Amino acid sequence: MQVATWTGVATLRSVFLINAAVGVVAFAATRRNAILDLPFRAFPLAVAGAMTLLVLVVNLAHPLQAADPYHLERVAQIQRLGTLAYDTSNLDQKVNVLGWTYELVLADVDQIPLIGHSLLRVHGLFGIALYLLAIGAARTWFGTGRWCRAAIFAVPVVFHQFVLVKNDLFGAVPAIVVLAWLVARADAATTREIGWAAWLTGFAVAIKLTSAPLALVFMGALLLVRQDRLRALTAAAIGGLLGAVCGGMAFTMIENTRWYGSPLAIHEAGGSYNRNATVGEMGVSVFRFLVSLFDLGLITRAVWPGRGGWGGTFGLPLVWAIALLLLRYRSSVFARRALWIAGAYFLIFAAIYTDADIAHRLALAPGLLLIVVAISLSNGEDVTSRRMRLALAVVMVLSAAQILRSAALYLTSA
């Protein structure tokens, strides 16, 4: 679509012919080596089915609505123009300058004859599928954690991603896989593997610039754990740049400069634009964020009111995960790596973004990493393991009640 926009060789309604041809060639080239192992069966079917049914009901009862209006406006613009071209007559610059990958997917779904708009209406089901794909891929390197796997459905902040049109989960999908790979494989991976992990990193950052801490954590981890630092960083740089190009970062920066005179456009137009400008602001933001990890959204909003943001916090599942990983810190290298990697990501995120404490949705990947790794370490018949599993059962019940309350509020507002 980037090439089609600049050359005029295709539009949204004709590019599928090119994609189909590329798909046939790709399938023929890789089918002998491909291993189809869908991760969905790795999750409790009853819990997955219950969440799917809940999301379906809310999607059907609730109007198709974006958390930020510019998402659906961008979808409409792509459909109207047939390409990714800017419409500078639009008074809201965000429709043009903030990227388009997620919106292109939505526009593409809406193009399906007869049923496209109906599929778009139940976009939450696609969100669940992507979510399970990311968690399943991240679990490639970790244990099963028994029934505790159901905990990934009880993370309050994730539920809102299935209801409102927003690109946070879409951008977190590759980031979750990258962080899990850093925990399990960064020190032993081949150069080629590093390049692919960097490609995912660049793609995630291109989807949403708030994922920029992922790139810093990725490069920092390689510097710390690799002996062949020069080769590893070279592979990472090449893969990351290619991923960013595929995700549209170069296209967006070029078009922003072309039409608005700056590659970052709207990010610079508002001065600090949701960013901390001083060391003092960074310190306050980090403190607020640390409190928000444990306050269930009850303290920071009351003490520091009048700020934007929507969605919930990670809630009790993350508190449980941090507690278990601290208990396993000395005995498990995965616990240590997960805590340090997620901690570094959270620190960078909180230092940069003003609303970090009320926008956990912008940092889904590190929080979910901690939960996934903690679940994998919840096995065992020792006293600590049994007590932590009992605590997780209570956490899941309370978090499920919180999610059901959110669903009821959505249905009431509809």
Q: What's the angle, vertex CA 370, arms to CA 365 and CA 375, rounded to 5?
A: 125
Give residue 266's pLDDT: 64
* Angle, helix 383-413 to helix 45-61, in steps of 10 degrees: 20
Q: What residues have CB less than 8 Å from 32, skipping those under 6 apart? A: none
Instruction: Report d(CA 101, CA 305) in Å as an integer.
Output: 33
What is the rounded average pLDDT of the residues 391-406?
95
What is the rounded average pLDDT of the residues 160-186?
94
- Looking at per-residue pLDDT, the higher value among 267 and 113 belongs to 113
Residue-number span of the structural domain to which 184 is assigned: 37-66+122-413
- Using the predicted structure, report yes or no on whether residue 35 has a pLDDT greater than 80: no
Instruction: Report d(CA 144, CA 390) in Å as an integer.
Output: 17
What is the rounded average pLDDT of the residues 397-402?
95
Token reading at 94: 């965000």
Asked which of 137-151, 165-179, 261-275, 391-405 is least confident by mean pLDDT, the reply is 261-275
What is the rounded average pLDDT of the residues 144-168?
88
Give residue 33's pLDDT: 61
Q: Is 17 inside a domain boundary?
A: no
- Looking at per-residue pLDDT, the higher value among 404 and 311 belongs to 404
Q: Is 8 inside a domain boundary?
A: no
Q: Is 82 inside a domain boundary?
A: no
> What amino acid is encoded at 403 in this protein?
I
Token reading at 59: 């999607």
Q: What is the pTM of this model?
A: 0.92
- Looking at per-residue pLDDT, the higher value among 63 and 147 belongs to 63
Asked which of 34-48, 154-168, 290-304 is least confident by mean pLDDT, the reply is 34-48
Instruction: Report d(CA 276, CA 286) in Å as an integer.
Output: 10
Give residue 88's pLDDT: 85
Using pLDDT thresholds of 50, 70 and 90, give the confidence band for residue 34.
low
User: Among all chains, which residue has been given the structure tokens 């979910």?
Assistant: 368
Decide: helix, strand or coil at residue 13.
Answer: coil
- Using the predicted structure, report yes or no on whether residue 271 has a pLDDT greater than 50: no
Give residue 62's pLDDT: 87
Q: Is 289 inside a domain boundary?
A: yes
The secondary structure of 318-354 as a DSSP string is HHHHHHHHHHTTTT-HHHHHHHHHHHHHHHHHHHHBT
Q: Is 336 inside a domain boundary?
A: yes
Q: Dihedral through CA 116, CA 119, CA 123, CA 126, nearest 10?
A: -110
- Looking at per-residue pLDDT, the higher value among 380 and 195 belongs to 195
> What amino acid is encoded at 209 in this protein?
L
- Using the predicted structure, report yes or no on whether residue 144 has a pLDDT greater than 80: no
- Using the predicted structure, report yes or no on whether residue 323 has a pLDDT greater than 90: yes
Give residue 41's pLDDT: 55
Q: How far is CA 121 from the centre of its chain?
A: 21
- Using the predicted structure, report yes or no on whether residue 194 has a pLDDT greater than 90: yes
Phi, psi of 242 (to 5 degrees): -65, -40
Q: Is 104 inside a domain boundary?
A: no
Task: Answer whether 381's CB lies under 8 Å from 316's CB.
Answer: no
pLDDT digits (tens, 9 = 90+) for 66-109: 888 889 999 999 999 999 999 988 878 888 888 899 999 999 99
Give residue 321's pLDDT: 97
Give residue 368's pLDDT: 96
Instruction: Report d(CA 41, CA 410) in Å as an integer.
Output: 29
Q: Is 28 inside a domain boundary?
A: no
Instruction: Report d(CA 11, CA 15) in Å as an integer.
Output: 6
Residue 153 CB-half CA count within 13 A: 27
- Using the predicted structure, report yes or no on whether residue 300 has a pLDDT greater than 60: yes
Decide: helix, strand or coil at residue 275.
Answer: strand
Token reading at 301: 């909003």
Give the torsion sign (CA, 221, 239, 142, 350).
positive
Q: How far is CA 156 from the centre of its chain?
A: 15
* Angle, helix 101-110 to helix 70-81, in steps of 10 degrees: 60
Using pLDDT thresholds of 50, 70 and 90, give the confidence band for residue 268.
low
Give residue 272's pLDDT: 43
- Using the predicted structure, report yes or no on whether residue 195 has a pLDDT greater than 90: yes
pLDDT digits (tens, 9 = 90+) for 212-231: 999 999 999 999 999 999 99
Q: What residues have CB less than 8 Å from 94, skipping those under 6 apart? A: 68, 70, 266
As a whole number, the mean pLDDT across the chain is 89
Instruction: Report d(CA 378, CA 369) in Å as an integer.
Output: 14
Q: What residues have CB less than 8 Å from 377, skipping those under 6 apart? A: 143, 145, 324, 325, 328, 332, 334, 335
- Using the predicted structure, report yes or no on whether residue 270 has a pLDDT greater than 60: no
Give residue 269's pLDDT: 47
* Domains: count for the chain: 1
Q: Is 351 inside a domain boundary?
A: yes
Q: What's the angle, vertex CA 406, arms to CA 402 and CA 412, rounded to 5?
A: 140
